[in-house]
Amino acid sequence: MKKLFVFLLCLFTISAHANEAPAEEGGVFKPGDMITHHIADGHKWEFAHGVNLYLPVILVDNGQLNIFSSSNFFDAHGEEVAHKGYVLEHGHVYKANAEGEPIEGHAGLYDLSITKNVASMFLSVALLLGVFLVIAGRYKSNPGKAPSGIQSFFEPIIIFIRDDIAKANIGPKYERYMPFLLTIFFFIWFNNMLGLMPGGANLTGNIAVTLVLAVMTLLITVFSGNKSYWGHIFATPGVPVWLAPIMIPVELIGIITKPFSLMVRLFANITAGHIIILSLFSLIFIFESLAVAPLSVAFATFMNFLELFVALLQAYIFTLLSAMYFGGAVEEHDHVDDMGHGDGGH
């Protein structure tokens, strides 16, 4: 029932934006503009039509700090206007000329604004801290007792990550990686779920965010690599020496492509899900017929429920693959010689 209520709110929100487009574009509905508006980052957070949260704009212009509300970039009709010599164009802040047009490539201007995705990230971090501080408090106040309430919901998930992901793929040294694996799993899962809420931000569908998560996995893997790990890269066992000039670059590229796949997989799956749902709703306004509505809403409802599963699945896959990369970096290998004997004489 709660999910149905959320879905109806989402339908109302999208319909409001879709109905707004023809008036602004001379009666022509542009689904691409509507979809881009919903999945892109921005300097204001629009929860529903007419319900906006204007976020702070923080600019460093040649060493001078300028802070003001993003509401100054919009007039009473919602049109973008210049303010204090700056203008907002396609989600980016530029220096403005005398006519209020953007000057691209202006050196010395740095945009440190709190955008919709940044605000959503702060919200998810606060939510994560709140949830797990409560859970930690329960463990301290009731040591050795059966979990209850929110603690009983999250404990099986934490144990699953520990036993079936960390221990199974990293081995005896799993404990040092547990804080990262737990953080990355719940951070991705929470933000995937928040992105499905009406007016939610598409944080995990932002490639800059998935890039940072992937780079963190890459750095931990590289700095965790032991002698055996680097030996397999620069002196692959069983490979002739004359192949080293080929194999070493291939192995080094492999180190980069693994986190690259993490970045693209999470970004593409989350963004694609949002685009598909919004595209299905757009069919109602493209055909301008209520006859299309039942089929469109039915498919969109199915996709919405499927996205709930994808939200959890993508968090699991990112965590699992990260654990596998860590396990490969810390694993001790026994090389077998031509007589079938290992390094340890087995």
pLDDT of residue 341: 47
Among the listed residues 220, 199, 207, the one whose alpha carbon sits nearest the alpha carbon of residue 327: 220
Task: Give the start-end residues of each E strand in the chain.
Answer: 44-48, 51-54, 56-61, 64-69, 86-89, 92-96, 102-103, 109-111
Cα dihedral across residues 124, 125, 130, 134: positive or negative: positive
Q: How far apart are CA 200 and CA 116, in angstroms?
A: 9
Domain ranges of the chain: 56-113, 117-330
What tokens does 136 get? 């930690």
pLDDT of residue 105: 67
pLDDT of residue 333: 64
Query: Could you report the per-residue pLDDT of 258-272, keeping only the tens digit for each?
Result: 999 999 999 999 999
pLDDT of residue 246: 84
Residue 67 CA neighbour count, 13 Å, CB half: 4
The three-class DSSP label of residue 111 is strand
pLDDT of residue 36: 80
Question: Along the 346 residues of the chain, how does pLDDT read in single tens digits?
Answer: 444 444 444 444 444 444 444 444 445 777 777 788 788 888 888 877 778 888 999 988 888 898 988 888 887 777 778 888 888 887 788 888 777 777 776 677 888 899 999 999 999 999 999 999 999 888 888 777 777 788 889 999 999 999 999 999 998 999 999 999 999 999 999 999 998 888 888 899 999 999 999 999 999 999 998 888 888 888 777 778 787 788 888 888 989 999 999 999 999 999 998 898 888 888 888 887 777 888 888 888 888 889 999 999 999 999 999 999 999 999 876 654 444 445 544 4
Q: Name the region of 72 (left: φ>0; alpha: ψ -120 to 50; beta: rest).
A: alpha
Q: How far apart are CA 73 and CA 79, in angstroms?
A: 8
Q: What burial class does residue 127 get, using C-beta atoms within 10 Å of its C-beta: 0-12 exposed, 13-18 middle, 19+ buried?
A: middle
* Four-point Cα dihedral 134, 138, 139, 140, nearest 10: 100
Give the pTM: 0.83
Q: How far apart are CA 330 and CA 173, in angstroms?
A: 8
Q: How far apart are CA 341 and CA 335, in angstroms?
A: 8
Q: How far apart are CA 79 and CA 180, in angstroms?
A: 43
**252 C-beta neighbours (distance < 10 Å), count:** 12
Do 58 and 69 form a contact (C-beta atoms < 8 A)?
Answer: no
The one-letter code for the residue type at 50 is G
The one-letter code for the residue type at 260 is F
The three-class DSSP label of residue 59 is strand
DSSP structure string for 177-230: GHHHHHHHHHHHHHHHHHHTSTT---STT-HHHHHHHHHHHHHHHHHH--HHHH
Query: Could you tell me how many residues make up the chain?
Result: 346
